């Protein structure tokens, strides 16, 4: 039987041990590897080779017209990888969670309808061995940058060299590339990454998501600099006009090389896209209400606003449509993050006590019309959550070296957030918090909660906009009832970004997007390696060997069952650490759009997918 056929059969039979033995026997690490059209974290890609288009894209969608998005914030940079600057990179340049990759593209395209799967884009195929000790990408000979230059292996090599050596680029790239022993050109169009002992099974997929920068356009001196010069990318759009901090306009590249690929068919349907920046969410919504010359869609995270703000003529006559989309993605983590780099939050008992005093029931009833559910897990609304699931045998083995780090209730799947009486001053919860603090050496003195060293328990909550301020003030009022002073400070976007990136805060209100395939990106959120790395997402400053070990278990799991066990064990540790005060979620997506913006009938697993929307001139 041909070697490649044998490899395919062994993989489908889920016999990694036999494959590894066969590989060792052959004496060739890539003997059983074969080039594939896609790669999945576990199992094989859902779509077969030769598929026509993603199921959530309509290949008959009309092309043309203009889209205007509205976003909250500011920007001062068109560099896709730099973390320098007072603000942030313009939305849409690369790896935008909503708008996609308008200018720069990754090696492969991630599917929105699978937990973690990539298909061909710049790289038309991917090859790895069963043990994932290497990955090789074959670039599409037709791939081009927007100025007509072919995308070559040399561009990938130059990108890798810059991302792995420069300290002021997005930290996830250097973290990924630290697991690569060597990168080499293979033939005319191939690039092979050979891994070192730090690598895991997720690494080939992470590398599939690397941006590809044109060699020579960036160097060691410019790769980390901010710039407003329109860049040369490989994506479907060109930067047309930039008004720093106000708006950026993209225009379709008429010579876009990938428009007929299966991973692009039915996507990127507008001739022009403008992203308007707003410093105030009310102003953004007022722009949406005006429609034709302003903002065309409005993503609605606020239940009060969703229920009360849509009584205007365009809604009543059907020109504006409100829609609810189902999603299989775990709930986003919205939370107060305690900065454990600072006192008093180094002390887990203090964190546990303070986490009891966010009165979700009062906030939900008085600010949000009772529309939210309370977050209890870091993976709520999915089977990855540990809540309601006692630890299984696999989890118990993973957690055995770290028993002191896991609360007994968390092991049983019963460690839920407290339920108050909704008064904003639940006496039972206030007493429980005081008891925890007093057992930890705190005492009342002149109406203040004072620590063992005599300093009042006082801290600042940093917020970015008014809705965050409202919930922070509600939390502060309850804390004040036990003598804890929490000062709420709202700052402008530039200051917020700067302080967040340098961890200059006591408590911050922020969020992480939910993911169906948590893995190596969790290092940047909760891993020890990211604790003191400026620009990382480890807002809480977690540095826990137990947490690090569970992330490693997640990225090395070969079966879905082992993966779910590893994620649940990880969830139990994060819950037990009281690193955050979880807030709330809605298990669906709310979107308002002007009628002339339309979308396919099929919604992917991760929810609505904006790059598949289009403008219908017949509906204007």
- Cβ neighbours, 10 Å, residue 92: 24
CB 140 within 8 A of CB 122: yes
- For the stretch 58-61, contacts whose Cβ atoms lie closer than 8 Å and that sit 24 or more positions apart, written own/partner, are 58/266, 58/600, 58/612, 58/614, 59/265, 59/266, 60/266, 61/266, 61/269, 61/600, 61/612, 61/614
Q: How confident is the model at residue 6 (pLDDT cuts 50, 70, 90)?
A: very low
Give CA angle at 320 (318, 325), nearest 5°: 110
Give the mean model confidence (pLDDT) for residues 536-563: 94
Phi-psi category of 81—alpha, beta or left, where left has phi over 0 and alpha has psi -120 to 50? Answer: alpha
Short-list 107, 127, 122, 100, CA closest to 39: 127
Q: What pLDDT shows up at residue 427?
A: 96
> What pLDDT, on the 0 to 100 scale, is given for residue 168?
61
List, as one string, the DSSP characters of 491-541. --HHHHHHHHHTT--SEEEEEE---SS--THHHHHH-GGGTT-TT-S-TT-
If residue 357 lies in a helix (H) or strand (E), which one and from where to where?
none
Quote the CA–CA distance of 548 and 50 in Å, as a whole number: 39
Burial of 130 by CB count in 10 Å (0-12 exposed, 13-18 middle, 19+ buried)?
buried
Is residue 582 within 8 A of residue 338, CB to CB? The reply is no
pTM score of the predicted model: 0.80
Per-residue pLDDT, 136: 98
Residue 280: pLDDT above 90? Answer: no
For residue 156, give the 3-state DSSP assignment: helix
Say which residues have a Cβ less than 8 Å from residue 109's Cβ, sequence separation at least 6: 118, 119, 120, 121, 263, 264
For residue 426, the tally of other CB atoms under 10 A from its CB is 22
Q: Would you call 69 helix, strand, or coil by DSSP?
A: strand
Q: Does position 20 have pLDDT exceeding 50, yes or no? A: no
Query: Residue 82 has what DSSP assignment?
Result: B
Q: What is the pLDDT of residues 583-618, one digit of tens each?
A: 999 888 999 999 999 999 999 999 999 999 999 988
- What residue ranges define each of the domains in the chain, with the CATH number in brackets? 333-585 (3.10.105.10)
CA distance 336 to 355: 9
Average pLDDT, the chain: 91
pLDDT (tens digit, 9 = 90+) per residue, 121-171?
Answer: 999 999 999 999 999 999 999 999 999 999 999 999 999 998 887 656 777
Q: If DSSP codes are grouped into helix, strand and coil, which group holds residue 610? A: helix
Strand 123-128: give its sheet, edge to edge: 123-128, 134-139, 190-195, 180-186
What region, left, alpha or beta, does residue 510 occupy, with left being phi > 0 and alpha being psi -120 to 50 degrees?
Answer: beta
With tokens 């979880």, the residue in question is: 582
Q: How far is CA 475 from the centre of its chain?
A: 26
Write out the H or E segment, with its range, that includes residue 435. helix 427-439
Treating both helix axes as pointing N-terminal to C-terminal, what angle do 360-367 and 466-480 enclose, rounded to 10 degrees? Answer: 140
Q: What is the arithmetic mean of pLDDT over 313-319?
A: 96
């Amino acid at each position: 039987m041909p070697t490649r056929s044998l490899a395919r059969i062994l993989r489908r039979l889920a016999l990694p041990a036999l494959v590894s033995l066969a590989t060792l026997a052959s004496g060739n690490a890539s003997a059983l590897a074969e080039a594939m059209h896609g790669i999945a974290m576990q199992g094989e890609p859902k779509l077969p080779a030769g598929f026509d288009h993603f199921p959530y894209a309509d290949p008959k969608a009309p092309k043309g017209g203009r889209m205007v998005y509205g976003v909250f914030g500011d920007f001062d940079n068109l560099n896709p990888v730099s973390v320098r600057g007072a603000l942030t990179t313009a939305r849409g340049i690369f790896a935008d969670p909503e708008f996609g990759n308008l200018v720069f593209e990754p090696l492969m395209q991630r599917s929105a309808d699978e937990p973690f799967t990539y298909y061909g884009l710049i790289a038309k195929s991917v090859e790895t061995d069963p043990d994932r000790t290497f990955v090789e990408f074959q670039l599409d000979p037709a791939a081009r940058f927007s100025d007509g230059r072919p995308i070559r292996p040399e561009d990938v090599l130059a990108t890798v060299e810059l991302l792995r050596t420069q300290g002021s680029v997005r930290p996830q790239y250097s973290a990924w590339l630290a697991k690569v022993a060597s990168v080499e050109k293979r033939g005319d169009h191939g690039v092979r990454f050979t891994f070192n002992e730090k690598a895991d099974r997720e690494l080939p997929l992470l590398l599939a998501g690397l941006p590809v920068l044109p060699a020579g356009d960036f160097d060691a001196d410019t790769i980390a600099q901010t710039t407003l010069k329109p860049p040369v990318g490989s994506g479907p759009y060109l930067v047309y006009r930039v008004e720093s901090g106000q708006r950026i306009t993209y225009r379709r590249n008429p010579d876009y090389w990938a428009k007929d690929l299966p991973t692009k068919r039915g996507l990127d349907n507008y001739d022009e896209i403008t992203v308007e920046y707003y410093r105030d969410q009310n102003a953004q919504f007022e722009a949406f209400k005006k429609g034709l010359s302003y903002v065309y869609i409005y993503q609605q995270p606020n239940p009060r606003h969703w229920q009360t703000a849509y009584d205007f003529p365009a809604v009543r006559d059907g020109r504006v449509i409100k829609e609810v989309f189902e999603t299989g993605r775990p709930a986003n983590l919205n939370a107060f993050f305690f900065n454990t780099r600072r006192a008093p939050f180094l002390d887990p008992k203090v964190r546990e006590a303070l986490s009891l005093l966010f009165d979700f029931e009062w906030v939900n009833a008085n600010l949000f019309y009772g529309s939210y559910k309370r977050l209890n897990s870091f993976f709520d609304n999915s089977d990855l959550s540990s809540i309601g699931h006692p630890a299984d045998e696999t989890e118990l083995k993973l957690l055995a070296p770290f028993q002191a780090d896991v609360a007994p209730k968390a092991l049983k799947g019963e460690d839920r957030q407290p339920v108050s009486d909704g008064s904003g001053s639940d006496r039972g919860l206030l007493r429980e918090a005081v008891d925890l603090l007093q057992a930890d050496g705190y005492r009342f003195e002149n109406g203040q909660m004072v620590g063992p060293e005599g300093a009042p328990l006082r801290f600042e909550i940093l917020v970015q906009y008014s809705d965050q301020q409202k919930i922070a003030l509600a939390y502060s009022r309850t804390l004040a009832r036990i003598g804890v002073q929490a000062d709420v400070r709202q700052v402008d976007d530039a200051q917020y970004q700067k302080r967040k990136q340098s961890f200059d805060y006591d408590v911050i209100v922020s969020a992480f997007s939910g993911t169906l395939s948590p893995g190596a990106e969790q290092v940047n959120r909760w891993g020890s390696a990211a604790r003191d790395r400026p620009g990382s997402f480890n807002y809480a400053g977690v540095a826990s060997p137990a947490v690090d070990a569970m992330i490693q278990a997640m990225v090395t799991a070969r079966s879905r069952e082992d993966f779910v066990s590893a994620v649940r064990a990880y969830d139990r540790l994060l819950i037990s650490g009281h690193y955050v005060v979880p807030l709330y979620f809605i298990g669906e997506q709310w979107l308002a759009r002007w009628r002339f913006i339309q979308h396919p009938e099929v919604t992917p697993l991760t929810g609505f997918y904006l790059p598949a929307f289009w403008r219908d001139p017949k509906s204007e």
